[in-house]
Amino acid sequence: MRCLLIEDDPSTARLIREALSASGHAVIACGDAESGRERAVQERWDVIVLDRLLPHSCDGLDLLAELRAQGDHTPVLVLSALASLDERIRGLRAGGDDYLTKPFALDELLARLDALMRRSAVRQAEGDQLAVADLRLDLRTRKAFRDDKPIALQPREFRLLEYLVRHQGKVVTRGMLLESVWDYHFDPQTNVIDVQISRLRNKLDKDFSPPLIHTVRGVGFMLQAPEDAAPRD
């Protein structure tokens, strides 16, 4: 695994670099957003570990949003001392694939990076395309199309839609989505799922027919092809 580490604290960067190197991974460390941006753009990485608070009052999420806007879909683990629920949600919505609060155990960091790599490997092994009816997902470019028309999705929206497509015809609960799409292994008592489903419906179903995303009242959600779709609530 080739890891780009963007972390301004020298001792934290050293510990992470040594732990990853001991596990057989190649690590390049940058101490600020400018050098991190340059390395991220110029080279190919398997994963990026990005500190939230960087020098010169730079928010690492701004750098993350910039990379996502440029079409960079490298898995990103955000590190931050900002541990509130709102901050974690903000980090994930900005395009982070995982969010780990400081202080953290190195073993947990390694486990989370391994999980990111497994998900990335599964996507590559399954091919570049997923399709349901006239909906098509390009897993390589992380772009969605319906009736061959592009649908503009944020990274988290694409990941949510990808999960629904992979489970087409099956009911998925809010707990399943929180764990698989947001990496929450507990219920944070948030309406983030309902908000994201609503946004996704507006983009996916509003201007197309028939609708694909359906609510199963009191249980969760289901993505179904038109031929066997049930009425949506």
Please list the residues that pair with 6 across neighbouring strands: 30, 50
Helix 10-22 vs helix 106-125: crossing angle, to nearest 10? 60
- The reply to whether 127-228 shares the fold of 2-124 is no
Domain boundaries, the chain: 2-124, 127-228
**pLDDT for position 156:** 87
The architecture (CATH level 2) of 2-124 comes to 3-Layer(aba) Sandwich (3.40)
Residue 229 confidence (pLDDT): 44
Can you give the pLDDT at residue 77?
Answer: 95
Residue 30's pLDDT is what? Answer: 95
Residues of the chain with pLDDT under 50: 228-233
Question: What CATH class does 127-228 carry?
Answer: mainly alpha
Q: Looking at residue 130, what is its pLDDT?
A: 86
Task: Say what the pLDDT of residue 232 is.
Answer: 41
The β-bridge partners of 138 are 129, 143
Residue 72 neighbours by CB distance under 10 Å: 18
Buried/exposed code over 149-175 (b: 16+ C-beta within 10 A; e: otherwise) = eebebbbbbbbbbbebbbbbeeebebe
Note the pLDDT tens digit of each residue in 108-135.
Answer: 999 999 888 877 665 555 567 888 889 9
